[in-house]
Structure 1
Amino acid sequence: MENTKEPFYGYLFAHFIGEQEDGEQIYFALSQDGLHWQDLHQNQPVLRSTIGEKGVRDPYLLRSNDGNKFYLMATDLSIYHRGGWQESQATVTGSHSLIIWESSDLINWSEPRMVEVAPKETGCAWAPEAIYDEEEDDYLVFWASSIVASNGKEKGLHIYASKTRDFRTFTPSELYITRGEHRTIIDTTIMKAGGMYYRASGDGQITIESSERLMGEWKIISTLESLGLGLTGKDVEGPEFFKFNGEEKWGLLVDQYGTNRGYLPLVTTNIGDTTGKCWRKPAADEYSFGRLKKRHGTVMPVTKSEYDAILAKWG
């Protein structure tokens, strides 16, 4: 559980905005309901990476299990500095490191540090996330890395994972999820709900799986298409789970990269539902992501005092 002495009040969104100068840095937004967002810091980055590729994407924000620390991880990648996607070769020559910041109050942040996690034979380390493993009393950190198939020609992306207790030292990475050596799976997000773990990943669909244990057997239970939401991996990417405060309701944010329309929130009262009856796509007038286009980001519940402090600092 995320431990705080106060009840949760609102939500903090960390994200990047795109492939432009200063676009691949960390931006913050706040919300009281998880659906309507206020951009902070006069639409400027709150944190900048000055190391590695000097740009970060796909941030993930985590409250430590004891509630005393926050960790912010991101992909070490700047498509802007690489000259655009066409020139970038990002899956072949990408950084093997994650960029990590830490804080005790969400206001004062450490300098960014690089932690090498991806296996030597891979081509990148993308879209990191982490979740506390109650069985092992450590954190499972996972990301996507590319590897050339055994025929030496085709390349797939697979999810690799490592364990850590302090986000400084990590166990050697291991393959965590694959759809086969020629296929790609990316952008995994994991949530615990009702005693089960659920993960959503981009693998041509946005596919949802369930398991009783983080390191146990997982089974595919649905896709956003099978749930009747009319969304495939051609339409959306970057799935991100979060829980609504004070109710049995979860959000799954997906980035509508296919139409360049930014984020779409999906809402469910049961992630494990396979019929689609518990899932809903809110109407366009039920949510607002603010002025900045939010790209692959992360939502974390915050208390009233945390919310007020963030607003006072960057509002």
Structure 2
Amino acid sequence: MNHRELTNSLYGYLFVHFIGDHEDGEQIYFALSKDGMHWQDLNQKQPVLRSTVGERGARDPYLLRSADGSCFYLLATDLSIYHRGGWEHAQATVTGSRSLVIWESPDLVNWSEPRLVEAAPEEAGCAWAPEAIFDEENGDYLVFWASSRDAHDGDGRGHHIYCSRTQDFRTFTPAEPYITRGENRAIIDTTIIKASGKYYRASGDGQITIESSDRLMGEWKVISTLESLGLALTGKDVEGPEFFKFNGEEKWGLLVDQYATGSGYMPILTTDIGDPTGACWRKPEPREYDFGSLKKRHGSILPITQTEYEALKGFYRNESM
């Protein structure tokens, strides 16, 4: 199925996420939606995938369809705050895993065993919130994540976005810096999407900053922040931005996690990611969306076909619903 055929056959959405820092919370959960705004939890609200490698926790999952459409890759942070005894004891940015947890699937129902792939450089203190996007220009995948490292000025560790390249999610090129905001300004949780011939990324860097570029490794231009768009949201309010496109529409969603209030995800909608004025952006009313009873923590949304949607719904109904 080529890209146009796939686009024309998209029907619903699969949300992969984790739910919290408690036992079983840091594993992979699935939810389905037909409209991208109202979600049904699968597998009786139990984990669909469990990490049995590394720290035995999987946070911040990101799901993508391979460029040739033959399989799916799921990446996650190798971290268990529960097994580390809670955030106050975790030292997760200093002694964290430098590996990513990776699963593969041909159909979103049958999954490989998890594997660890070391991604971050030796001087890094962690590898958090991985994502990947196919680089059409280079013919491979750009994988990126947040790592902490010692600040050169001695004021402590800072978070920066690193990247690597892969053809198969098994062998990766050496990590290199991708985005930095300077030694005293952390950047985490970057998400990238291609829309209308351009690449757009949103990053947590004190704001939720939106940038654009013609090339993944090109020069990026700051377009806006959620605050400058008039949405009254900064990095003190929300984190974990995640882009996705609505099927059959020139409309995109940007999910943000309302961590400051513990309210979970909120979708922000736009018909033009590149609009700097705010005219094309809006926060929907709470009655317009429903993420279900499970709290959705830092995850990702994948548009799927009707065949994929029905297979998931049928499998979890037959197996555990």
TM range, normalised to the smaller chain? Answer: over 0.9
Supply the AA of the counterpart residue of 1:57: R
Distance 1:55 1:148 in 2: 25
Once the two structures are superposed, residues 99-133 of structure 1 have per-residue CA deviations (whole angstroms, 9 ceiling, x without a partner) of 00000100000000000000000100000000000
1:102 is aligned, of 98, 101, 104, to 104
Shift of 1:152: 3.1
Distance 1:152 1:18 in 2: 33
Matches for 1:42-53 after TM superposition, within 5 Å: 42-53=44-55
1:228 is aligned, of 202, 223, 230, to 230
- TM-score, with normalisation over the residues of structure 1? 0.98
Once the two structures are superposed, residues 213-271 of structure 1 have per-residue CA deviations (whole angstroms, 9 ceiling, x without a partner) of 00000011100000000100000000000000001000000000000000000000000
Which residue matches 1:255?
Answer: 257
Once the two structures are superposed, residues 134-175 of structure 1 have per-residue CA deviations (whole angstroms, 9 ceiling, x without a partner) of 000100000000011113341110000000010000000110
Native 8 Å contact 1:129 1:141 kept in 2: yes
2:206 is aligned, of 204, 207, 212, to 204
- TM-score, with normalisation over the residues of structure 2? 0.97
Supply the AA of the counterpart residue of 1:158: H
Supply the AA of the counterpart residue of 1:265: P
Secondary structure of the structure 1 residue equivalent to 2:261 = coil
Shift of 1:293: 0.2
Matches for 1:112-191 after TM superposition, within 5 Å: 112-191=114-193
2:14 is aligned, of 12, 15, 19, to 12
Distance 1:150 1:210 in 2: 28
Supply the AA of the counterpart residue of 1:149: A
Unpaired segments ≥5 residues, structure 1:
none
Unpaired segments ≥5 residues, structure 2:
none
Secondary structure of the structure 1 residue equivalent to 2:97 = coil
User: What is the number of equivalent residue pairs in this alignment?
Assistant: 315
Native 8 Å contact 1:3 1:65 kept in 2: no
Which residue matches 1:283?
Answer: 285
Cα RMSD (Å) of the superposition? 1.0
Which residue matches 1:80?
Answer: 82
Distance 2:128 2:222 in 1: 23
Distance 1:308 1:18 in 2: 28
Which residue matches 1:55?
Answer: 57
Moved beyond 6 Å, runs of 4+:
none
Which residue matches 2:266?
Answer: 264
